[in-house]
Amino acid sequence: MSELLNLSLTEARDALKAKKITSVELTEAYIGAMEEGKGLNAFITETPEKAREMAKASDAKLAKGEGGAMEGLPIGMKDLFCTKGVLTTAASHILDGFKPEYESTVSQNLWDAGAVMLGKLNLDEFAMGSANITSYYGNVENPWRRSGGGNQKLVPGGSSGGSAAAVSGRLAIAATGTDTGGSIRQPASFCGIVGMKPTYGRCSRWGIVAFASSLDQAGPITRNVQDAALMLGAMAGHDPKDSTSANLAVPDFEAALTGDVRGMKIGIPKEYRMDGMPEEIDALWKRGAEMLKDAGAEIVDISLPHTKYALPTYYIIAPAEASSNLARYDGVRYGLREEGGSLIEMYENTRAAGFGDEVKRRVLIGTYVLSAGYYDAYYLKAQKVRALLKKDFDDAYGQVDAILTPTAPSAAFAIGENQDDPIKMYLNDVFTVPASLAGIPGISVPVGLSEDGLPLGLQLLGKPFDEETVLKVGHVLEQAAGFDAKPAFLAGSK
Amino acid sequence: MSLDKATVARIAHLARIRTDDAQLDALVGDLNNILGFVEQLNEVNTDNVEPLASVTGHGLPMRKDEVTDGAYPERVLANAPERAHGYYAVPKVVE
Amino acid sequence: MSEAKSNLIQGATGDWEIVIGLEVHAQVISKSKLFSGAATAFGAEPNTQVSLVDSAMPGMLPVINEECVRQAVRTGLGLKAKINRFSVFDRKNYFYADLPQGYQISQYKQPIVGEGEIEIDLPDGSTKKVGIERLHLEQDAGKSIHDQSPSQSFIDLNRSGVALMEIVSRPDIRSAAEAAAYVKKLRSILRYLGSCDGNMQEGSMRADVNVSVRRPGEEFGTRCEIKNMNSIRFMQQAIEYEARRQIEIIEDGGAIDQETRLYDPNRGETRSMRSKEEAHDYRYFPDPDLLPLEFSEEFVEEEKARLPELPDAKKARFMSDWGLSAYDAAILVEEQETAAFYEKVAEGRDPKLAANWMITELFGNLNKAGLDLSESPVDEAKLGGLIDLIADNTISGRIAKDVFAEMFESGKDAATIVEEKGLRQVTDTGAIEELIDSVMASQAEKVAEYRSGKDKLFGFFVGQVMKQSQGKANPAMVNELLKKKLAG
Ligand SMILES: [Mg+2]
Ligand SMILES: [Zn+2]
């Protein structure tokens, strides 16, 4: 059992192709792991029967020497992806009972590649959060524990907290995530695994419950960089149903992992060295730069002068788009309806009952910044600063091939911490948000442990549509770091 | 800029979210906190800066004028909280 | 300025001028919707022409229909307007049961078409230019049905997402008649272009009418918007009523509230729309699911080259080539089919005669029978044939009216009717002289009176001779020969 769970995505792929294992065996192991890991609350909906059927079908293909790139591999799907006939909630009460009549492009791409669905993973409500504590379906628990810190429950990060916890605790061999301001990279860092946000437009947004349309991007959450390369290849591709999808061929991302970064220029942006940043984060960052230098890359000091304005920009643009994207949840066509004496009362009751506090806050902020008389001061201003932030990166990529930064300003914190003040929570995304606003690809790779024994990741950013460089450098960093610490909870380890 | 309770109530109504008095009090604090934070942007000189329209770098793709979708009322109505005679049903609207 | 003066309305305290601006929503002719592949046909079963995009399912995204863009550009060109090669789609946010997304995708600050103008044809044959402020593309909403249940409204999304062009005029219109002429002309241009079928009953064209009143030459007054007029006649009534209402309020010392109103044709009055009284704050912002719409100058030039001859150009040509009056030309060019019909009839014939026959007899009969020109029992060849018989003196103009009535009734051609009924005009001198002789013989007394100086009796003799000939004698010849014979 644990043998099977030890296999990474690419190892399992190879073992399946070599007929050393079957998908049914692998899938059964993960169905058992989901059972064992129920305490993490990583899944909102488990679909073991569907998984068994899909695994059987995969085995039939594999037996004939057929099958796609992800054939027979049991993955978890963030519950923001619409899945045909399977409850899709966005972790919100307002989508109560919603079973889509359609399949998102990214999930369809994965099924077409042969992947097996274990279930729908928990997240922050409508992907709004950095700790997975805003889900209507309850908090997700990080499989990691602080060393010597008792048994305090930690957050997995967010919003793809269920995905990160599941992959880290081995309840799924890999999982999908979505990243709007860091929702793949930050939880990956908190859970000691790899999370990649590709370039905006690389993966289709069709069928993903929208949070902030100009920022949302799907990506893989995996145990290592090679797994990320494999899974991203299966998820990505041009989709004519998404006007923002890039009409570009999908490269062979695994082939980019040459291990050779000699002569490449890696930028270290000075603005990411922020006041009050824990010393251990700074030290980890320096160590990461050393590793890349030892591998033959050139480390270059660069400047991204508008970095400090990324978070305030993000907290105007994302809520503004969200306030509009979430207007469709009105109790008329699907999901929750709370009756009222009039249409307006029905709307107000439904949305009051259906949305949680953080979603309400963001919808209201977004409504306010777009409202008459405030548009120019907030939204328009933010879009101008966003243009400057993007230009910062464009300029930097004139000098360097990739940029190295910390992923998050801290390790995972306890459930309940940072909860008194929304701003404190927002600061979690301080290093991930700039790349989201610029639409560029980024990956978080686990590099070391905090003093408390919790995983810490470093982030590599690349040029638009140059995921290959991001993956290549990430892979070298991963090899050099040799991160092999294990969380307190690991399915199949007992 | 600072939000008062009446403004928050107006915004909540615009967003069609029913809020009671206690919630309004809490929201006034939270929203002002967030607005105070985002107002840092006033420090940035954005004279002559065009607002970012999109990060994609490509133009608006267009589709051919063909009927390729629809004709499945059952799928459209499948998740409706209430329906009648092939329509969605809502509380009566008086014009 | 006599024309402007005639538009003034007399109040109790002096003259008032009406100021009108129109926002016309015209449904774009396309097979599928603006942002989805669902069909647009009218009259389908509820929710059958709805895609997952139109019903705003979570995660659904818009993809624009290239034909709708092309139609908007063609229409802009037809309105002699500035085509904006860079435009932006915005979200207009508001909640309504038939607006599934909670926002309408429209164009706000940067529409696809900028300023243009329309020349309207007024009943006295004069014309007037009305400025166009803009034309933008947007989605239609669904339909709410309120009268099927006492406690519920029903929602049909078939129209949800259908492409509309919103065409906004400048406040250049000064009377209900001008507003009617504007809508007629706009409809005519759209139909020529094939960008909208102009069918107001089916809602493919509807107008929001902004009405205010002012003392001549003074600042604009506060306006009220009368929503969703889908009949030109009702629109005129609504404007008249609304102007009177506003004048009365102001003259009584009151002030006009800026509001949205609805016209009730049964009561002949406008009333405030309570459901629209909610303070609106649309929170427009560029739709992040779409990118700015850009196209090349070549695309615009190609579309320009493909435009048909439009009503104004055709009218000018009809006046210069066919020698028609402005009034007749305006009537004949209103519909492309009518103009083409006319040109077939006029070719090689007396063009004024052709115009008269079409406007009075043909249109009169079609109107009475409730038929379209395309359904006319008298086609171009038949009407032409009739005119030919008049021209070569086979029949007189008076007989021709009877022949036309028979043609309209039976669908037979004019020559057949003339043969069958023996209506051929008598032009034989001998035969006419015989008729005159017979009349004179039976009216000897009257002949004597005439000869003794009672000239007025001449008309009596003409009438008698025509009667004897059953109307077939050539009237000119009857005159001439009768004069000679009576003179003795
Ligand atoms: Mg309007
Ligand atoms: Zn409109």
Residue C308 CB coordination number (10 Å) = 13
**Domain extents in chain B:** 5-42
Higher-confidence position of A67 and C3: A67
Predicted pLDDT of residue C79: 98
Buried residues in A8-42 as b, exposed as e (16+ CB within 10 A): bbbbbbebbeeeebbbbbbbbbbbbbbebbeebbb
Q: Could you tell me whether strands C15-27 and C9-10 are parallel, antiparallel, or unpaired per DSSP bridges?
A: antiparallel
- A183 catalytic? Reply is yes
CA A308/CA A13 separation, integer angstroms: 42
How big is the CA angle at C295 (ends C290 and C300), to the nearest 5 degrees?
140
Average pLDDT over residues B29-36: 94
Read off the pLDDT band of C278 (50, 70, 90). low
**Domain extents in chain A:** 1-494
Which of A159, A204, A410, A436 is labelled catalytic?
A159
**Domain extents in chain C:** 2-303, 331-421, 429-487
The hierarchical CATH code for the domain C429-487 is 1.10.10.410
Read off the pLDDT band of C123 (50, 70, 90). confident
CA closest to C261 among chain B residues: B95
Predicted pLDDT of residue C2: 40
Average pLDDT over residues A211-228: 98
B13 and chain A in contact, CB less than 8 A? yes
Cα-only R_g, chain C: 30
CA A140/CA A123 separation, integer angstroms: 8
pLDDT tens figures, C64-98: 999 999 999 999 999 999 999 999 999 999 999 99
Contact check, Cβ <8 Å, A213/C288: yes
| Bridge partners, residue C166, by sequence | C25, C136
- Residue ranges of alpha helices (H) inside C285-395 are 297-305, 311-322, 326-333, 336-346, 351-356, 363-369, 380-391
- When the pLDDT of each residue in chain A is averaged and rounded to a whole number, the result is 97
Site from C31, C153, C289 to mutate, B interface, most B CB atoms within 10 angstroms: C153
- The fraction of chain C above a pLDDT of 70, given in percent, is 98
Predicted pLDDT of residue A419: 77
> In 3D, which of A310, A356, A307 has the Cα closest to residue A329?
A356
Does residue C3 register a pLDDT over 50? no
B93 and chain A in contact, CB less than 8 A? yes
Predicted pLDDT of residue A323: 98
Does residue C274 register a pLDDT over 70? no
Contact check, Cβ <8 Å, C51/B69: yes
Q: Which of B11, B58, B91 sits opposite A367 (nearest CB)?
A: B11
The per-residue DSSP string of C205-258 comes to EEEEEEEEEE-TTS-----EEEEEE--HHHHHHHHHHHHHHHHHHHHTT--PPP
- The fraction of chain A above a pLDDT of 70, given in percent, is 100
pLDDT tens figures, A428-482: 899 999 999 999 999 999 999 999 999 999 999 999 999 999 999 999 999 999 9
Contact check, Cβ <8 Å, B14/C49: no
Contact check, Cβ <8 Å, B51/A378: no
Predicted pLDDT of residue A274: 85
Cα-only R_g, chain B: 23
Strands laid side by side in the C103-106 sheet:
C103-106, C90-93, C285-286
Residue C479 · residue C462 · CB < 8 Å: yes
Q: Which tokens in the block code for residue C318?
A: 């009809």
Q: Please state the separation of Cα A382 from the chain's center in Å.
A: 24
- A245 catalytic? Reply is no
Read off the pLDDT band of C487 (50, 70, 90). confident
Provide the residue type at A2 as one letter. S
Does residue A1 register a pLDDT over 70? no
CA C130/CA A355 separation, integer angstroms: 49
CA distances from A384 to A16, A378, A427, A438, B48 (A): 50, 10, 22, 12, 9
Does residue B22 register a pLDDT over 60? yes
Contact check, Cβ <8 Å, B11/A364: yes
Read off the pLDDT band of C398 (50, 70, 90). confident
The hierarchical CATH code for the domain A1-494 is 3.90.1300.10
Does residue C256 register a pLDDT over 50? yes
Average pLDDT over residues C256-266: 93
Predicted pLDDT of residue B95: 62
pLDDT tens figures, C173-192: 999 999 999 999 999 999 99
- When the pLDDT of each residue in chain C is averaged and rounded to a whole number, the result is 94
Does residue A336 register a pLDDT over 90? yes
CA distances from C424 to C3, C10, C482 (A): 49, 57, 21
Residue C221 · residue C212 · CB < 8 Å: yes
ipTM over 0.95: yes
Q: How many helices (H) and strands (E) does chain C have?
A: 17, 17
Judging contacts by C-beta atoms under 8 Å, the chain C residues touching residue B63 are: 37, 63-66
Does residue C488 register a pLDDT over 80? no
CA A475/CA A459 separation, integer angstroms: 12
